[in-house]
Structure 1
């Protein structure tokens, strides 16, 4: 579940990773609507390849990109339809993700609760595409509360928003209100 920037803390919104195959849109030429939509919630930001790229650039500057990289690698594991029948390929991917992000001393170790690590280890006894669901959700929630908020408040996001605003009026008759954006975040 995701917390949106414009939502009360008690309003929880679905994470695109909750769906079996979340749609990742190809990088469009950035528009005001797209970039402004990223400020609604983390789900909107990472639903586009361009959003993921911009967020990753920000995280690289903070030396905190590992959470997003883990989230993306788990998404890739879940996406692979052709590998559905190839158990060996899934086992290999699961092992790589575990070794890279969750194992003690992993090169890109993410910070998840000890009980989550224990659940992942138990899930790995029968490797499948859902092994990391709990850990991915925990990392998503962490990014939503922490690095996402910093990104949306950052000069780099504001500069990007300003660069796409120069061609579009700030308030247009067709622009969605913040409340409409929150509703969209709830349903996505």
Structure 2
């Protein structure tokens, strides 16, 4: 086994152990809002597999949001979730209202929860607001997801929270 492969395997094992410990602590917590049943315990054990798995469950979203909040960057998750919901709208009126709302809250310069997007991506969104479709935020959402997956998720896994 090459040195790089061995290091990668050791890092993966360390992260896996840290995540198992984190899940165990969540399950054992005495706080009333953390009481879970056996089915939830089985679901919770899957949270560390990927960001996708984590975000697919309300409990995972809550834990990840708490972590992001402690890092002052929960707007990334809020934006991603808003984009997920945006994709479910089918009437042009609903799409227009939701697109304007998402733009004002997360994309516009000086917006209260502005996410970190490059100028080009912001311009594409701005132009698409005239007749927004369900793909209006796809590029931006992918960029924010990538940021969460490659930066925040690994730190979340390794954190003690």
| TM over 0.5, shorter chain | yes
CA separation in 1, counterparts of 2:110 and 2:150? Answer: 25
| Equivalent position of 1:101 in the other structure | 106
Which segment drifts farther, 112-121 or 60-69? 112-121
Any idea what the Cα deviations from partners look like across 1:72-116, whole Å, max 9, x if unmatched?
111111123xxx13x222111100000000001110000011111
1:46 aligned residue (55, 64, 69):
55
Q: Which is bigger in relative contact order (C-alpha 8 A, separation at least 6)?
A: 1
Q: CA deviation at 1:37?
A: 2.1
The 3-state SS of whatever aligns with 1:107 is coil
Q: CA deviation at 1:125?
A: 2.3
2:147 aligned residue (142, 145, 150):
142
CA separation in 1, counterparts of 2:156 and 2:150? Answer: 11
The 3-state SS of whatever aligns with 1:108 is coil
| Equivalent position of 2:4 in the other structure | none
TM-score by length of 2: 0.72
CA separation in 1, counterparts of 2:43 and 2:117? Answer: 31
Which structure features the higher share of helix residues?
2
Q: CA deviation at 1:39?
A: 1.8
Structure-to-structure mapping, 1:12-23, within 5 angstroms: none
> Are residues 1:91 and 2:96 paired?
yes
Structure with larger Rg: 2
CA separation in 2, counterparts of 1:128 and 1:91? Answer: 8
> Are residues 1:154 and 2:150 paired?
no
CA separation in 2, counterparts of 1:50 and 1:38? Answer: 9
2:65 aligned residue (56, 72, 75):
56
| Equivalent position of 1:69 in the other structure | 78
Q: CA deviation at 1:122?
A: 2.1
Count of paired positions: 126
The 3-state SS of whatever aligns with 1:79 is coil
| Equivalent position of 1:183 in the other structure | none
> Are residues 1:115 and 2:120 paired?
yes
